[in-house]
Each structure stands twice: as C-alpha cells, then as structure tokens.
Amino acid sequence: ASAGLEYAHARGIIHRDIKPGNLLLTRAGQIKLSDFGLALVAAETKLTAAGKTVGSLPYMAPEQIHGKLPLSAQTDLYALGCTLYEMISGKPPFSGSAAAEILQRHLKDPAPLLSELVLDCPDSLSRIVARLLAKNPADRYPSAAELAADLRELESGIVVKPPRGSGRLPLPGGPRPGGKPAAAQESQPANGHRFGSLFAWAGWGLAGCLTLWIAIAPNSSGERAATGNATLVAGLRSESAEVRRFVARCLGDSGPSPGIEQALEPLLEDADPGVRVDAIRALGRAAEPSEGLLLKLRKISNTDDAQPARNAAQEAIEVLRARPTKGYGRVFAVAIGLALVGLAVWLAPKVARHILSQAPRRSSSASDEVREFDRLSKPRRQQ
C-alpha cells in the first residue's frame, strides 16, 4: 500500500480516501489501491476549496476535517495509519457515539498506543503508527517511501511463531500418535464398514437439519449489524451537511443491514444535493432490494432537481435489481435442506438392511472359528 501511495504521490495525486475497503488483495497476495474517485472529483470540481471536506469519517486527517489547503501526501499517510491501527488492534483509533464526537477526537485526542492495547505488538511498530497519526502533518513521515523502508526493516526482525499445538501430519506408512505405523492402523476387520455407513446416513440427516435451521432461523447477524450502526445513525441528524454525508457513506460501506432504508430515508429529501447523492449510493450498496425502495428511487431519478442525484438513483436501481433478495436465498436453502433430509430418510432402510445382513455372516464366521479351535484341541486332550 505504501508503494502504491508513493507512486501516486510522485505524480501529484492525493487519494483522499484511504481506508480498508479501498485496499484490494489479489489472489497473488498483492495489495492494490482502488477508488481514486475523490482524487479525480477534487481535481475536476475543486471540492477541496476552503471550508469543504471529503473523505471517510474514521480515517480522516485533522487538516482534511478542517478543509485546509493544500492537502498533501501526509493526509493519505494519516489515513493509512488509521487503517494499520485497525488491522493490528481490531478497531479504528478513534470512535464515539456520534459522528461529531469522532471528528473531535481526530482533531484533539491522541490515539491510544498500540503497545498498550495489543500485548505482542512491538514497540517499534507502535511508534511507526503513532508517527503516522500525528496531528501536525509536518510530524508525520515525509513520504510513503520512508514509511515503507521502516516497515521493511521492522519486518526483517520479526519472528513469526507457529500456532500452539501445530505439528506435522503423519506420513503414509509412518508412525502415528498411537505408536503404530499407518499400515497397521489401516482398516480393522471389526465393524468399520457398518459404522461408516451409519455415520454417513446420520451426517446427511444432520446436514439437512442444520441447513433448514439456518434458513428458517431469524437473521441474528443482521440484527447485530443494525445495533452496531446505531452510533452512526445519530450522526444523520447533525447540522453539518459534511457529517451527514460521511455517515451516509459509512453506512453504505458497512454492508447490508436491516433498517438502513428507514435510517437514510430522511436524507433523500435533504436540502443539500451532495447529501442526497451519498444517501442514494449508500442505499444501493447496503439496502434490501424491496419494491418500495425501487419506487422511491424511480421517483428521484425522474423528479430530483440535481442531475447527480438523478444519476445516482438510476445507478442504485440497477444495482438493487441485480442483487438477489434474501427471500429467494432462504427458499433455496430450505429446498437444499429438505433434499438432504429426504436423502437421509431414503438411505435409512438401506443402511439398516446392510447392517442386518452383515450380522449373520459375522456370527457364522465366529462359530466356524470356535469349532475349528475345538477340533484342534481335542487330540491334545486325549494325549
């Protein structure tokens, strides 16, 4: 990520919206910077004029909140520091019950040291992040290249320990935990096949019941997501249009959540067209594609005074139409669950017949062995 920022900064481009959602990981394990939208819009429309702010609330530098000119590479490095802080500790450096409170903490409060929150965080890494989060841009790293150099030097001295209890898997034919080689522990002549069939049948039935339960049970994860966003929703009532925009974007970035349509609905009629645009885009990213919401967006796309809002509404309609509803997903899950349960029921008599058919064979085999033992032992008794 630092290398990508260095490349952009060398060409006079300030990203302005660095956050976890804009760092993409390729299958090859390479980080790609994405969403240079704010950089392009700022260049074309001068949105960074005095008194204006653009960015994402949890990752905004103090000078970005103030709308001070000019923004610099250090603005992106501050956001990268917030992202790194969240990667290490599991939470952003500044949080609060309302958007305005988070903004004030960015401006005034020092971030808690990572070494005090994460016990195994090296002090050198904690100092690097603290420097990135300095309030004064001049106190941060002068360039992303110098940051990358410090991180590489730190990485070279970190020893990654294997997880506790990890060990090598036994090699074919080699010794196993019980002390016997693999060949000696292969198939045992006792009831392995019988119980294998029984476990397979029980597994199909359990899988079907579990699928049905997941499909029919209430969506508790969605309820938790709605509860987690409650602190952001309070910011939608802020007097600042910029705060309302930030909160709308954050809600959209947080993913699908029940109640987001109701929370953002007042912003669809906001006096600020920028607020309306961000609210519409957030609904397109995170709302359930209901017919009622589609009707509202169609009305906006036809009647809103601002062309950007009309365009955003049309784009949101297309995104929502392409997204499958949860109802269809649940129907599909129920169908899969019923199919698995049906398969288990169909297999039950076959498994039972197989087990019963094996019992006489094992019994007769045991009887033959007893008779053979008696035959061999009789001559010895006579002697």
Q: What is the CATH number of the domain that holds 234?
A: 1.25.10.10
Q: Which of 279, 297, 322 is the last residue of a domain?
A: 322
Same domain, 127 and 227: no
Residue 65 is part of a domain; what is its CATH number? 1.10.510.10
- Please provide the distance, in angstroms rounded to a whole number, between the alpha carbons at the two ends of the chain: 91
Q: What is the mean pLDDT of residues 173-197?
A: 45
Q: How sure is the predictor about 182, in pLDDT bands with cuts at 50, 70 and 90?
A: very low
Identify any residues that bridge with 181 across adjacent strands, giving them in sequence order: 175
Could you give phi then psi for residue 25, rounded to 5 degrees? -105, 120
Same domain, 8 and 152: yes
Greater confidence (294 vs 346) lies with 294
Q: How many domains does the chain have?
A: 2
**Predicted TM-score (pTM) of this structure:** 0.42
CA distance 257 to 283: 10
Same domain, 7 and 84: yes
CA distance 266 to 66: 26
Q: pLDDT at position 276, please?
A: 93
3-class DSSP state for residue 31? strand
Q: HSE-up of 117 (CA within 13 Å, CB side)?
A: 16
Same domain, 224 and 147: no
What the block records as the tokens of 70 is: 């000019």
Same domain, 2 and 132: yes
Q: What is the pLDDT of residues 36-93, one digit of tens each?
A: 655 544 444 333 443 344 557 888 899 888 877 678 889 999 999 999 999 998 899 9
Same domain, 5 and 135: yes
Greater confidence (246 vs 334) lies with 246
What is the CB neighbour count within 10 angstroms for residue 288?
19
Q: What is the mean pLDDT of residues 98-125?
A: 88
Query: 21: closest CA among 82, 97, 75?
Result: 82
Same domain, 129 and 271: no
Q: pLDDT at position 337, please?
A: 60
Residue 46 lies in a domain: no
Q: How sure is the predictor about 169, in pLDDT bands with cuts at 50, 70 and 90?
A: very low
Same domain, 131 and 230: no
Query: Out of 17, 76, 278, 304, which one is annotated catalytic?
Result: 17
Contact at 8 Å (CB) between 117 and 110?
A: no
Would the CA dihedral through 118, 121, 126, 132 be positive or negative?
negative
Contact at 8 Å (CB) between 50 and 12?
A: no
Same domain, 113 and 229: no
Q: What is the mean pLDDT of residues 329-354?
A: 61
Same domain, 9 and 111: yes
Cα–Cα distances in Å, from 314 out to 40, 42, 280?
Answer: 22, 23, 9
What the block records as the tokens of 105 is: 């903490």
Residue 374 lies in a domain: no
Domain with 91, as residue range(s), is: 1-39+55-156
Q: Which of 132, 156, 180 is the last residue of a domain?
A: 156
On average, the pLDDT of the chain sits at 72
Residue 310 lies in a domain: yes
Omega before residue 70 within 30° of 0, cis: yes
Q: Is 17 a catalytic residue?
A: yes
3-class DSSP state for residue 33? strand
Residue 344 lies in a domain: no
What the block records as the tokens of 82 is: 């917030």
